[in-house]
Structure 1
């Protein structure tokens, strides 16, 4: 389907927004009136710019406070509306959005409202303009999409139709099922917006917290499926009011928005039957099976000796250095870590390689989701791993059966590496994301690997609230935790501090592993004694067990499904490791312990700096 986006979604001037939309690959835009009013460009110049950029001008919006008023007020509203029709002719536009009256409506009479809408449509017809009537979720008398359709149907004019907005429908918990009862040719426009479940009033929720489809809590794919069943084949447009989007690079925001439109169309294809007429209009992307295995993780570090020693203490063995480059391979049972030395930049997860059936198809899917390709030159006798950049900058590579021989470049036999006892496994990854691309990174990974989101959580850190979103593959083979870092994540002196990411490794006997690792030189993050006093009280644990865990730095959680024991290494640059033991069917991550860890890490960093450690 044709893609569009409202200029209100982006930061910058109208001209900059239009350039960003064209660069991202949108087909058209909605012109938000406030953007045009403050623009130095004339309507004719905006039209010419759109033509040069290859953008259509799909919708002029909004024309507020129109219907449901006394006759004298209505006549003045018609005067205002006619002026907008004349402006639209200069822009070369033929569709205007009229939202239901939320401010000046005084007449709660459907017959009067329908008559006023019909008279507006008659005026629009004289200018070859159409009106898309939209029910605002907070409209005074009209606040549901079905009510807006009943009024449009009663008005019965070819120049009048409805605009369906997913936020206004889903934020009220309205059932979109009846959308299929609206004739497709009377759905003049569709606006898409998701939102997190914040439990707040509709108006501030809408004005500040909308997000792109797939980044919130609404069933956007279900909404899109119902829309497809109507036969609608017009523009799919994003209308996102979001404070973060208004401050970030419009090119990046536009690219993230287009990705969400491709994702929602692909999702809808799986929900509707092939008989649905509009299904063929939905954008497609190469289909892959849900990804269940991480092949290896690459760590970039300016402290390779320190990182190598940490890996050794955790039980990894050095498996070889790349025959042509500096990276080294470390292996522990089935877990493979590539250590890539750098001159600067600290320590972080640089890339993640996942196992797929067909790397070319996976790469094509990533490109369809708008991911830039990673260029890593290789020689003729080296394995080429296709890869892309995620929105947050982490590189994602695809390893199929043909590429599985890559460890030979480090002098290792892949067949022997596959023969292991599996006493250590990759449990999950925890990756920090900046506030301006957190949602985009989550959506890209979810869509790319076909993962499922768990319920999001907020974790209190000493430097602000951290929003955490876990994605899991259907069979639990991959767990990937994204943390949205507070905007001002600084130390007490106000200097920027890197929020640490980490790699979690699952073991069968954490106490035994902890003793072995500390004997081998592992520095375990010290946990405050207050935590263990509280632990004993909460779970009724015996003194001997709590004392052992405190000595080893082990944290604990328990629920109806089982138990969870884990400990953290010290942080090197921006990365640390976690050892975990899951008992029974426990599938959580120790709720509450993350806040303890963040506070302990800050305390440990301060002590280390103070004593020059």
Structure 2
């Protein structure tokens, strides 16, 4: 199917929107009427620009409040429609979106609405234009696509069909299966949008919180399958009203949008089975584990001291690069000082273990993800990589050494032999994204790597609410919590969580080697006593090691944090039995403690 996007999805002028859509690879656009109204380019100039860019103008929208009205108002509406059709003829658009009446409908009669739409169809046909009638989720009398189709059946006009919008259908909980009862040739247009599961009025939900496919809670794959089975062969078009996208870089949002549509086609094609109407891309290869975490800075010596205190072992310096490897168990931390002038310590890369790195790389290319290029010398393992929306570099390792260390670790020399320090693996890597990049990052990890994205949670912190969403594989061997930094926080910290079987022992060992964990206030332990009725000796063990604690119906969670260096800090965690969370109730305590410590050490260059 052809791919289209509504100009309302993008920021900037109409000319900038068209240019970005073409550069991203879209076939066509829906022109949102206000975008044309405020443009100083004539319809003819916009048409010529679209032609030069190779874009078709698939829809002009919206035309509101037409049907279900009194006879005198109908005549006024037809005059209004005639002026729109004149503009469309100049623009080169042949389909107009007519929304079910919200503001002026006073006659609740399908036959009246059908008769009035028939007259509109006659007028539209005289201009070579088609009318796509859409049921708005908040329409006065027509708010269900099945109802709009019954009216269109009554209209019985070759120039009048339906427009199906996934948001208006799925937000109301309507079953999309009845799409298959509509003849494909009478589905004139399709608009697609995802959305988070929210409890709010549907109009506000629609106007501010739509998302691109793959970023919300709607089953858009099934929705497209129903379209294909109905025989629809027109454009799949994105219509996403979202406050974030209307403020972000136009080209980047267009690229993000196309990626979502490519992912959706692939998803639907896999559900439908062999078909010529939907495009498939390379198979997803969900990561089986974390290969390494890379921390980059001009000077990583402070991070090295902290890793040593936590029990990791220096495994050597890379034979051709200013890169050093530290490890314990299956946890590998790469410290990179290459091309890092003036950079403070930050999480710069994550390596994933996959079964087939070539297949995952092909999928990333199909989704137009930017590759990450790094110089590799002769005899060194070449890892496929690409760049996540935050700038994080993601690399894939499809070669293992039968459960032992990866082959690339052999490129590090003059280090020490690994020893058992209690740290077993990397439990999770907590990343931060700006508010404008978060939804794009969710799509990246789900579409490229096949990670799962449960609903986001919100955590109160000293600088405001922190939105957090965990990306993971099915068995939890890959966990990537992603935090949205509060507004104005440009250096929101990130951290690496190390997993062990006895966190108290690791904490004691770290103290003996000079580490001072993030201090936890006494009030926190009074709260634990009230919440969990812990024994005095248990509370004392927690307090003496600055350990935080959580418990659910499956198990327990004990953990501590280090102070941060630059934008990085570490967490050491112990999961008992089936505990699968992250101690979210303790997060405000950690955030407040970090803020206090930051104020105390602000003059030091190693902390912020």
What interval of TM-score do these two structures reach, taking the shorter chain for normalisation?
over 0.9
**Could you say what secondary structure the match of 2:63 adopts?**
coil
2:392 aligned to 394, 415, 422, which one?
A: 394
Q: 1:420 to 1:284 in 2, by over 3 A?
A: farther
1:492 paired residue number: none
Distance 1:314 1:270 in 2: 46
Q: 1:423 to 1:328 in 2, by over 3 A?
A: closer
**Pairs within 5 Å for 1:110-259:** 110-259=110-259
Confirm or deny that 1:340 pairs with 2:336: yes
Contact 2:313/2:326, CA 8 A, preserved across alignment: yes
Once the two structures are superposed, residues 172-192 of structure 1 have per-residue CA deviations (whole angstroms, 9 ceiling, x without a partner) of 111112111111111111111
1:409 paired residue number: 411
1:285 aligned to 271, 281, 284, which one?
A: 281
**Could you say what secondary structure the match of 2:381 adopts?**
coil
Confirm or deny that 1:321 pairs with 2:317: yes
Contact 2:9/2:240, CA 8 A, preserved across alignment: yes
Contact 1:290/1:474, CA 8 A, preserved across alignment: no
1:600 paired residue number: 593
**Could you say what secondary structure the match of 2:498 adopts?**
strand
Deviation at 1:240, TM superposition (A): 1.0
Deviation at 1:143, TM superposition (A): 0.4
Confirm or deny that 1:304 pairs with 2:300: yes
Farther off after superposition, 428-437 or 282-291: 282-291
2:266 paired residue number: 266
Contact 1:124/1:159, CA 8 A, preserved across alignment: yes
Deviation at 1:476, TM superposition (A): 1.7
**Could you say what secondary structure the match of 1:280 adopts?**
coil
Farther off after superposition, 343-352 or 243-252: 343-352
Q: 1:515 to 1:402 in 2, by over 3 A?
A: closer
1:494 paired residue number: none
Confirm or deny that 1:330 pairs with 2:323: no
- TM-score, structure 2 normalization: 0.95
Farther off after superposition, 461-470 or 374-383: 374-383
1:493 paired residue number: none
Contact 2:256/2:440, CA 8 A, preserved across alignment: yes
1:609 paired residue number: 602
**Could you say what secondary structure the match of 1:606 adopts?**
helix
1:295 paired residue number: 291
Contact 1:525/1:567, CA 8 A, preserved across alignment: yes
Q: 1:611 to 1:346 in 2, by over 3 A?
A: closer
Contact 2:135/2:144, CA 8 A, preserved across alignment: yes
Contact 1:429/1:503, CA 8 A, preserved across alignment: yes
Deviation at 1:29, TM superposition (A): 0.6
Distance 1:348 1:585 in 2: 31
Distance 1:192 1:445 in 2: 21
**Could you say what secondary structure the match of 1:271 adopts?**
helix
**Could you say what secondary structure the match of 2:448 adopts?**
helix
Distance 1:380 1:456 in 2: 44
2:365 paired residue number: 367
**Could you say what secondary structure the match of 2:304 adopts?**
helix
Unmatched 5+ residue regions in structure 2? none
Distance 1:420 1:540 in 2: 34
Distance 2:466 2:192 in 1: 27
Q: 1:280 to 1:521 in 2, by over 3 A?
A: farther
Distance 1:412 1:28 in 2: 58
Contact 1:557/1:563, CA 8 A, preserved across alignment: yes
Distance 1:536 1:352 in 2: 38
Distance 2:186 2:82 in 1: 22
Once the two structures are superposed, residues 13-71 of structure 1 have per-residue CA deviations (whole angstroms, 9 ceiling, x without a partner) of 00011111111111111000000011111111101100111111110000011111011
Q: 1:81 to 1:575 in 2, by over 3 A?
A: same
Distance 2:104 2:117 in 1: 16
- TM-score, structure 1 normalization: 0.95
Once the two structures are superposed, residues 565-598 of structure 1 have per-residue CA deviations (whole angstroms, 9 ceiling, x without a partner) of 1111111111111111111111111121112111
Once the two structures are superposed, residues 132-172 of structure 1 have per-residue CA deviations (whole angstroms, 9 ceiling, x without a partner) of 11000000000011001111111111111111111111111
The number of residue pairs the alignment matches comes to 600
Distance 2:389 2:365 in 1: 12
Contact 1:371/1:391, CA 8 A, preserved across alignment: no
Once the two structures are superposed, residues 453-473 of structure 1 have per-residue CA deviations (whole angstroms, 9 ceiling, x without a partner) of 223100111112111111110
